[in-house]
Structure 1
Amino acid sequence: MKLYIKNMVCNRCIMVVTSELEKLGLILLSVHLGEVEIAHPISDIQKKEIAEHLKLFGFELIDTKNSRTIEKIKTLIIDLVHHKNNQLDTNLSDFIATHMVQDYNALSNLFSEVAHTTIEKYYIHQKIERVKELLVYDELSLSEIAFQLNYSSVAYLSNQFKKVTGYSPTHFKQIKETKRKQIDEL
């Protein structure tokens, strides 16, 4: 049986969910971003208990097929941008359609309807959040960040950054107190 969990966005989330579900006595077969496979079926009462317990840590169980689809798309994008440095062998629409094994136009329409933003805007916001993170770490130059995140140029990265944040990357770096949005708030 699979459980679909919202707001699992990093390896630390996987560790927390694994630990908490094991504390509840569940036998886990696999745990991935947004998805947990458990060995045995669970009752509705157990499911409610799991949902309440995970909510304490900022996670939510997802029940509807559309919500699961949206979370899978978000997880794909988060993984691509934050863990794979935006290294695509193809364009974003083909990447998503291939991994979801569904028509991109249908996925795009569903995403826009449910998430109230487009896949492309969500993707851009994730990239900008990653740029902010790398700027705050102060280990890479803007050129290195642009290269690492597969931007065509520093100018393109800077223009997109300013359009989304209202600041140039240099200005943002100078005012590090600018709050970053959490991944699950995008």
Structure 2
Amino acid sequence: MFAKDVIIKRCSMNLYIKNMVCQRCIIVVKQILAGIGCETNDVLLGEIKLQEELSVEKFGLLTLKLNEVGFELIQEPNQRMVETIKKLIIEKVQTGFIEPHFTVSRYLKKYTLKDYSTLTKVFSANESCTIEKYFILQKLEKAKELLLYGDMAINTVARNLGYCSSQYFSLQFRKVYNYSPKEFIVAGAAARKPIDKVCLEYTKYP
């Protein structure tokens, strides 16, 4: 192998991280990497692109520091696939707009280049809910944010998140949380949940 090949290999080395769900997570991971002297090409949701291979000592320190703030390095391929699915769904939902005819199956197949049946099998085997339920729960948590801070009417939130009607949105909202969107607005921010915990929080969702 030529020296140039070694450099290319090292520059393309990626690490995958569980539980990164927002821009603040990226900032925290960048701070950890800087603190232990790791040079990177980029840090994305769920992924670190390293400039060079880590020593055993740095890898161990990085693992420890990430665990301290609730993150986890992923080495198993199926877990990496699950985190990729989560990342794609979160990124889509966080835009605050879901097209009327959007389907999560077509969306994931487009960006993972994998058959949806394979994705669902792997996801369900590693998580406490299906992809479809995870997508719904992420939409409902985004709805909470929009209802509290977006100054939007319930029917506008429902439409922006791809629901065919505000009635169906309210029905699904109550089915998951046991209270209506209007009741949530009264309860306020205390009723919100971290978006990386939705599967854990709502395993009883039918």
Question: TM-score when scaled to structure 1?
Answer: 0.93
The answer on whether the counterparts of 1:88 and 1:95 sit within 8 Å (CA) in structure 2 is no
Calculate percent identity across the aligned residue pairs: 40
Q: Deviations over 1:119-161 (max 9, x none)?
A: 0000111011111112222611112211221221111111111
> How far is the alpha carbon of 1:45 from its aligned partner?
3.2
**1:15 partner SS:** helix
Q: What root-mean-square deviation, in Å, do the aligned CA atoms of Structure 1 and Structure 2 show?
A: 1.7
Q: Which has the larger radius of gyration?
A: 2
Residue 173 of structure 2 aligns with which residue? 161
Q: Residues 119 and 35 from structure 1, CA distance in 2 versus in 1: closer, same or farther, beyond 3 angstroms? A: same
Q: Which amino acid aligns with 1:30?
A: D
Residue 30 of structure 2 aligns with which residue? 18
1:150 aligns with 2:162: yes
**1:175 partner SS:** helix
Would you say how many aligned residue pairs link Structure 1 and Structure 2? 186
> How far is the alpha carbon of 1:90 from its aligned partner?
4.2
Deviates more, 1:41-50 or 1:149-158: 41-50
- How far apart, in 1, do the equivalents of 2:175 and 2:38 lie? 46
Residue 136 of structure 1 aligns with which residue? 148
- How far apart, in 2, do the equivalents of 1:158 and 1:35 lie? 35
Q: Which amino acid aligns with 1:8?
A: M
1:77 aligns with 2:77: no
**1:9 partner SS:** coil
Q: Residues 82 and 177 from structure 1, CA distance in 2 versus in 1: closer, same or farther, beyond 3 angstroms? A: closer
> How far is the alpha carbon of 1:83 from its aligned partner?
2.9
Q: Residues 67 and 104 from structure 1, CA distance in 2 versus in 1: closer, same or farther, beyond 3 angstroms? A: same
Aligned counterparts, 1:26-65, within 5 A? 26-65=38-77
Question: TM-score when scaled to structure 2?
Answer: 0.84
Gaps of 5+ in 1: none
- How far apart, in 2, do the equivalents of 1:26 and 1:79 lie? 26
The answer on whether the counterparts of 1:34 and 1:75 sit within 8 Å (CA) in structure 2 is yes
Gaps of 5+ in 2: 1-12, 199-206
> How far is the alpha carbon of 1:100 from its aligned partner?
0.9
- How far apart, in 1, do the equivalents of 2:99 and 2:71 lie? 28
